[in-house]
Amino acid sequence: MSKKTHQTRMDRHVSTFRLAFLLLVTVALGKAQTSQLTVDSHDITVLLNTTETFVVFANEVLTTDVQVTLNTDSDDHLSLNPARFTYPAGSTQNQTVVITGHSAGYVKVVADSDAANNELVKDVFVRVTVAKSRALIYTSLVFGWVYFVAWSVSFYPQIWINFRRKSVEGLNFDFVTLNIVGFTLYSMFNCGLYFVKDLQDEYEERHPLGVNPVMLNDVVFSLHAMFATVITILQCFFYQRAQQRVSYIAYGILGIFAVVVIVSAGLAGGNVIHWLDFLYYCSYVKLTITIIKYVPQALMNYRRKSTSGWSIGNILLDFTGGTLSMLQMILNAHNYDDWVSIFGDPTKFGLGLFSVLFDIFFMLQHYVFYRHSRKTSSSDLTTETEAQNRSTESQSDVTTEKY
């Protein structure tokens, strides 16, 4: 009886050992099948007539020799040494490739092999930026951070002047409403591409060698802009606003935008379009809002013949940010010899220029056209509160004139 029990236990141990061995073999085979070559960095910047390197290595030991040929989409901007090499089976050594910059521009380096090993080299690619000057790179970075701060802070002069006056008279409600819708859609786009793995995978599938266009500072800026705009909207509810309201024209425009967003979301939910396309449609609505949102405030200032209640601090900071943004694009276009990014696809530069031109117009309204205007106006937007404010008008002007 004891011998049978002992034999049974031995059989169980043998079976367990065999099962574990089979699992290890399966895992090993699975790893061998997913082995591939890759690089230590997919993005490299090299200056003219200087060299940089990247390293090709295997994430698992290869079972066969792999012939690797490095190709570029431009023969003039850089040279590679070596441009062709063999990565031997079972090797743990790395292959260093030297890049020499010859002319400024953007270049993609991709690897090719024979048909049997093409899958093994699909992750061997490098996006190379050949620059003229390192000083211009640092200057561009400084410009980027300055305009990021300027745009982020630009919401608060208006919030502050509303708080000091306990009034939102002079601030156009159409502008505020369009702003919150625009920044909400912008936040949806940024958060979707930054946090949602499925959307990131879909973007990578469409742009295999591309980079996710959304960075953390984009997410922070858009969410912060929403937050600041919500504060302004709350001020519109609690502070004195006279007869100001959102116009029917603005309601009509927002209704059109709502239809576009809802229909797009329905199509994405029904798998007619991809969710990434839905985010793109949201971004197009945001771009449209950026173009039109300043018009109501400019018209309101013209009708009132006054900029009282509309913070010039907001405009000065927005002008600073927009100007530095365009200067950064021009610097980068020169440094990387990439003028196509401005003139070939003028959307971003054009939007920045459009916003700056509106800022200049607002500065002309504030400092030239209506510089002698008083706080109150004969406009029908403020007639209800003129009598109330007349007694405190002279004191309030001292506070608001700075803004």
Q: What is the pLDDT of residues 183-211, one digit of tens each?
A: 999 999 999 999 999 999 999 888 877 77
Assess whether pLDDT exceeds 60 at residue 23. Answer: no
For residues 324-332, give the mean pLDDT. 92
Q: How far, in Å, CA of 310 to CA of 302, rounded?
A: 12
String of b and e for 22-48 (b: at least 16 CB within 10 Å)? eeeeeeeeeeeeeebbbbeebebebbe
Q: Which of 24-28, 257-261, 301-305, 357-361 has the lowest mean pLDDT?
A: 24-28
Assess whether pLDDT exceeds 70 at residue 120. Answer: yes
Each residue's pLDDT tens digit, 41-80: 999 999 999 999 999 998 888 888 899 999 998 878 999 9
Q: How far, in Å, CA of 326 to CA of 7, rounded?
A: 82
Assess whether pLDDT exceeds 50 at residue 97. Answer: yes
Higher pLDDT, 153 or 14: 153
Do the bridges between strand 95-101 and strand 37-39 make them parallel or antiparallel, or are there none, so unpaired?
unpaired
Higher pLDDT, 211 or 269: 269
For residues 211-224, give the mean pLDDT. 89
Assess whether pLDDT exceeds 70 at residue 347. Answer: no
Assess whether pLDDT exceeds 50 at residue 392. Answer: no
Three-state SS at 136: helix
- Whether the Cβ atoms of residue 139 and residue 145 lie closer than 8 Å to each other: no
- 151: which residues sit within 8 A by CB, 6+ positions away? 221, 317, 318, 321
Assess whether pLDDT exceeds 70 at residue 16. Answer: no
Report residue 389's pLDDT band, with 50, 70 and 90 as the boundaries: very low
pLDDT at 36: 84
For residues 153-170, give the mean pLDDT. 95
Report residue 168's pLDDT band, with 50, 70 and 90 as the boundaries: very high
- What's this model's pTM, rounded to 2 decimal places? 0.77
Length of the chain: 403
Do the bridges between strand 78-81 and strand 125-131 make them parallel or antiparallel, or are there none, so unpaired?
unpaired
Residue 201's region, left for phi above 0, alpha for psi from -120 to 50, else beta, is: alpha
String of b and e for 176-185 (b: at least 16 CB within 10 Å)? bbbbbbbbbb
Cβ atoms within 10 Å, residue 213: 12
For residues 256-274, give the mean pLDDT. 96
Cβ atoms within 10 Å, residue 160: 14
